[in-house]
């Protein structure tokens, strides 16, 4: 039996980038705990696959293909959610991604693409989702950040900058909206076995657990569900006294070695 504090019965959640990886795992975990879902992403077919799984759990799923770097499309997504369900309770800003190359090889176009995909999208969605949430006096926004926001990773500098901006935005929006009943938090992910991670591992011609990131104490990469459950915590009443926080879920940090 689901713990009452983690129950999302009667609540509606938008999850962006929910066609695969962390987004799909998060949508399914939220559904398992009672939420009805609105699934957003650029590719309709993976979204439909996620929707089929959620409906198999016994929850509702609305598919709304969306480019979340477009503020007009984001507005249509929120409007569709409210029109379908009558309210909106949870937003998970998961859509994002990056490419890897030395700083001097990044073009201006690539810089703005990464900033828009990872930061602007969360800004647009949060502002729009907050409108019905503030009106009803309750809501939770969870941003999917990255350990790149804390670590000096030279080949993903624009991505790290975008995610650091997301952490700051999380605190600022929490300060604005928590008094109105809308909590805003973030989960910063370490290395997680997603399509993007697998692509990087294959490109580098290394095994699955090689690209761990600095100081991973567990010595393995995470699974998408190991991010989804922290998101559930922040989306649910289990974290009712938590707002403006960024939880770094990264396999732990190793103690310094002997000198």
Cut 0.85: pTM above it: yes
Predicted confidence (pLDDT) at residue 218 exceeds the cutoff of 60: yes
pLDDT at residue 254 in the model = 81
Q: In what order do the strands lie in the sheet with 12-16?
A: 61-65, 36-41, 12-16, 90-93, 139-146, 182-189, 246-249
Distance of alpha carbon 104 from the chain centroid:
29
Predicted confidence (pLDDT) at residue 227 exceeds the cutoff of 90: yes
Predicted confidence (pLDDT) at residue 191 exceeds the cutoff of 80: yes
pLDDT at residue 255 in the model = 77
Q: Tens of pLDDT along 36-46?
A: 999 999 999 99
In the residue annotation, 199 being an active-site residue is answered as no
Q: What are the residues whose beta carbons fall under 8 Å from the beta carbon of 170, sequence distance 6 or more? A: 143, 145, 184, 185, 186, 244, 245, 246
Distance of alpha carbon 12 from the chain centroid:
16
125, 14 contact by CB (below 8 A)? yes
pLDDT at residue 1 in the model = 42
The band of 213, judged by pLDDT with boundaries at 50, 70 and 90, is low
Q: Which of 152, 156, 155, 128 is nearest to 141 (CA)?
A: 128
Q: Which of 111, 95, 106, 5 is nearest to 47 (CA)?
A: 95
> Which position among 85, 159, 199, 229 bears the catalytic label?
159
- Considering the chain, what is the average pLDDT of its residues? 93
User: In the chain, what are the domains?
Assistant: 4-249 (3.40.50.720)
Q: Tens of pLDDT along 130-146?
A: 999 999 999 999 999 99
**Average pLDDT estimate for 196-209:** 56
**Average pLDDT estimate for 216-220:** 85
Q: Which two tokens stand for residue 52?
A: 């089929």
Q: Tens of pLDDT along 159-175?
A: 999 999 999 999 999 99
pLDDT at residue 206 in the model = 52
Distance of alpha carbon 86 from the chain centroid:
23
Predicted confidence (pLDDT) at residue 234 exceeds the cutoff of 80: yes
Taking only Cα atoms into account, the Rg of the chain, rounded to an integer number of angstroms, comes to 18
Residue 75's Cβ-count burial label (10 Å; 0-12, 13-18, 19+) is middle
């Amino acid at each position: 039996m689901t713990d009452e504090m983690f129950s999302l019965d009667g609540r509606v959640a938008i999850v962006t980038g929910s066609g695969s990886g962390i987004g799909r795992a998060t949508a399914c975990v939220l559904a398992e705990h009672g939420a009805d879902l609105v699934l957003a992403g650029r590719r309709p077919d993976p979204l439909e696959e996620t929707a089929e799984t959620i409906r198999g759990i016994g929850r509702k799923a609305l598919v709304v293909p969306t480019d979340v770097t477009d503020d007009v499309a984001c507005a249509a997504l929120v409007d569709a959610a409210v029109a379908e369900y009558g309210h909106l309770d949870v937003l998970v800003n998961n859509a994002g991604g990056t490419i890897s190359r030395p700083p001097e090889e990044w073009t201006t176009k690539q810089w703005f693409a990464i900033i828009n995909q990872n930061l602007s999208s969360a800004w647009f969605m949060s502002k729009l989702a907050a409108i019905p949430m503030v009106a009803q006096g309750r809501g939770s926004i969870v941003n999917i950040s990255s350990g790149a926001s804390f670590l000096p990773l030279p080949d993903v500098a624009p991505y790290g900058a975008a995610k650091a901006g997301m952490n700051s935005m999380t605190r600022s929006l929490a300060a604005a909206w928590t008094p109105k009943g809308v909590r805003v938090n973030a989960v910063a992910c370490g290395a997680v076995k997603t399509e993007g991670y697998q692509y990087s591992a294959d490109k580098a011609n290394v095994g699955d657990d090689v690209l761990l990131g600095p100081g991973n104490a567990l010595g393995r990469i995470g699974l998408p569900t190991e991010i989804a459950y922290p998101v559930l915590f922040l989306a649910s009443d289990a974290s009712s006294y938590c707002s403006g926080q960024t939880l770094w879920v990264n396999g732990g940090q190793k103690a310094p070695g002997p000198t």
